[in-house]
Amino acid sequence: MPAIQNSYSENIRASVPGHIPDMTHADLVSRTVQDAAGLAFGVPVFQGTTDKSVRTIVNGDTAAKFVGVSVLDRSATGPNGYAQYESARILLTGPISVTAAVAVAASDPVTITAAGAFSNTGGITVPNARWDTSAAAGAVANIFIK
């Protein structure tokens, strides 16, 4: 006989990178992971070298090559995300939780550092994106991509 849940947390679990906080205007696609090391959840992804593939940032990337953000998916087989050649869910537009590299405030612009971290200054500016919530450096916050 299946177990019946009989205890409940008083609080909802805190958001984690790659979590979609709500489905407001969420637009998702599947893309093949190109990186040999795989792809973590909640990281910016860029156009790979083949059609419908994605990878993490490399030197010389621009906003034109930005595809979206990798989405948390419990079916992913990598140790901390998607494995190479796995089909990854990518958020093109909508809200998503990411780790802020620096302290950010709601309405700040969203940028991506050369190391592939989300920030609010310097690096590649994500077109039509803003920080939706505020956070300290190293904390999880929501961004919204239009």
At residue 61, the pLDDT reads 96
At residue 1, the pLDDT reads 59
**Residue that is written with structure tokens 């050369």 in the block:** 114
Domains of the chain: 27-145 (2.40.300)
Closest C-alpha among 90, 92, 98 to residue 141: 98
Q: Are 126 and 115 in contact (CB under 8 A)?
A: no
Residue 31's region, left for phi above 0, alpha for psi from -120 to 50, else beta, is beta
Q: What is the per-residue pLDDT across 4-30, written as a single tens digit (0 to 9) for each?
A: 877 777 766 678 999 999 888 899 999
Q: Which is higher by pLDDT, 100 or 14?
A: 100
Closest C-alpha among 106, 100, 32, 127 to residue 70: 32
Residues paired with 93 in a beta bridge: 27
Closest C-alpha among 18, 80, 23 to residue 44: 18
* pTM of the entire predicted model: 0.90
Q: What is the per-residue pLDDT across 59-70, written as a single tens digit (0 to 9) for each?
A: 999 999 999 999
Distance CA 22, CA 86 (A): 25
The rounded mean pLDDT for the chain is: 94
